């Protein structure tokens, strides 16, 4: 089992476990069912493929035994793995290590985060997978837990509603990742999962880059958004081409591009939380709320 003090620290392994570099047949390596990264930039992958063709694989793939004789699961290095298959390599260099499901996911997630290879949606879903493993709960139950923690932090619910061990485990995971706080994750990253379903599916399946998907998601009209997404994925349109098509749609009277709704969404979230909170029964909080509402009304009035 892997041991670590922090994901930022060097990973250390028990000395009796095989971790030396060696070469194995590429057909003996399988991909995991769940991976943090799904989108691979075609141009960068092609560049890597040409490098592998000329120089071979310079950095071993990280794999772990599957429990089936002679078979291994890829932990890190999928781009190198794909490039090797494209070139036609039959044998690849690997480092073999015994890893649990949790350790394997953490290594894959951290490697991609450190290389800045994950788009925000992939990162969000990868972190949710990691939290689900660490907390031993279904992934669908993780966002509600994070929202409860956020609400408790800003005083909207009683802290006793939270299970301390779960909250501590969440804080530990984010401290180990060291890339984003759990508060920022709950506020800025979880809302990404509310993107239109077809946009999320294209991101999950690796059909489109996040930057392109983000622009397409701003189209209000469902039919036109679906159509542009289909064109972007089938024709591999560039970001500039996608923006040009949206401008053309607007000029022809099509559906306008939706304004950035992140701030609007946060306001909607706060209003929903306020209605369900106990702020109404606290005179001090009521006075503070009245002051904030007055400031908001004045701000909106002056914006006309």
Same domain, 187 and 146: yes
In a domain, 76, yes or no: yes
Checking if the pLDDT of 36 tops 90, the result is: no
- At residue 39, the pLDDT reads 67
In a domain, 298, yes or no: no
* Dihedral in degrees, nearest 10, Cα atoms 11, 12, 16, 19: 30
Q: What domain range includes position 48?
A: 21-99
In a domain, 140, yes or no: yes
User: Whole-angstrom Cα distance, residue 70 to residue 92?
Assistant: 14
User: Whole-angstrom Cα distance, residue 1 to residue 102?
Assistant: 10
Output the six-digit token pair for 186: 């709950």
In a domain, 184, yes or no: yes
Lowest mean pLDDT among 114-118, 178-182, 256-260, 263-267: 256-260
Share of the chain above pLDDT 70, in %: 73
Q: Kindly state the DSSP code that residue 256 receives in the 8-state scheme.
A: P
In a domain, 73, yes or no: yes
User: Whole-angstrom Cα distance, residue 58 to residue 203?
Assistant: 29
Give the tens place of pLDDT for each residue, 87-115: 999 999 999 999 888 788 778 877 776 66
Give the CATH number of the domain where residue 85 resides.
3.90.1530.30
Residue that finishes a domain, picked among 161, 193, 225: 193
- Angstrom distances, CA of residue 174 to CA of 121, 128, 169, 180, 250: 17, 11, 9, 7, 42
**3-state secondary structure (DSSP) of residue 144:** helix
Checking if the pLDDT of 59 tops 70, the result is: yes
In a domain, 261, yes or no: no
Q: Which residue has tokens 């310079």?
A: 58
Same domain, 179 and 199: no
Give the tens place of pLDDT for each residue, 279-288: 566 677 677 7
In a domain, 267, yes or no: no
**Based on the structure, what is the number of domains in the chain?**
3
- Report pTM: 0.58
Give the tens place of pLDDT for each residue, 130-160: 898 888 889 899 999 998 888 877 766 554 4
Same domain, 125 and 77: no
In a domain, 108, yes or no: no
Region 183-188: mean pLDDT is 88
Output the six-digit token pair for 18: 């095989």
User: Rounded mean pLDDT of the chain?
Assistant: 78
User: Whole-angstrom Cα distance, residue 41 to residue 8?
Assistant: 26
As to burial, measured by CB atoms within 10 angstroms (0-12 exposed, 13-18 middle, 19+ buried), residue 170 is buried
Same domain, 133 and 174: yes
Same domain, 125 and 178: yes
- At residue 49, the pLDDT reads 93
């Amino acid at each position: 089992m892997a041991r670590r003090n922090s994901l930022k620290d060097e990973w250390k392994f028990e000395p009796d476990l095989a971790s030396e570099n060696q070469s194995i047949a590429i057909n003996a390596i399988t991909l995991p069912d769940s991976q943090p990264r799904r989108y691979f930039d075609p141009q960068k992958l092609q560049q890597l493929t040409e490098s592998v063709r000329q120089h071979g694989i310079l950095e071993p793939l990280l794999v772990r035994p599957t429990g089936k004789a002679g078979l291994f699961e890829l932990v890190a290095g999928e781009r190198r793995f794909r490039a090797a298959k494209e070139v036609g390599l039959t044998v690849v260099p690997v480092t073999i290590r015994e890893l649990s499901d949790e350790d394997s996911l953490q290594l894959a997630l951290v490697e991609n985060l450190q290389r800045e290879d994950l788009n925000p949606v992939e990162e969000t879903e990868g972190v949710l997978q990691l939290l689900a493993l660490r907390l031993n709960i279904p992934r669908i139950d993780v966002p509600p837990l994070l929202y409860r923690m956020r609400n408790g932090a800003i005083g909207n619910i009683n802290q006793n509603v939270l299970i301390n061990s779960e909250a501590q485990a969440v804080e530990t995971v984010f401290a180990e990742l060291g890339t984003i706080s759990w508060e920022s994750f709950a506020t800025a990253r979880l809302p990404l999962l509310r993107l239109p379903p077809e946009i999320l599916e294209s991101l999950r399946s690796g059909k489109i880059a996040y930057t392109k998907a983000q622009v397409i998601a701003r189209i209000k009209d469902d039919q036109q958004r679906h159509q542009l997404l289909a064109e972007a994925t089938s024709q591999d349109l560039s970001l500039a081409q996608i923006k040009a098509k949206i401008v053309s749609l607007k000029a022809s009277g099509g559906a306008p591009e939706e304004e950035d709704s992140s701030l609007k969404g946060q306001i909607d979230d706060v209003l929903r939380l306020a209605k369900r909170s106990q702020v109404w029964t606290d005179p001090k909080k009521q006075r503070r709320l009245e002051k904030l509402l007055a400031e908001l009304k004045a701000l909106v009035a002056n914006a006309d």
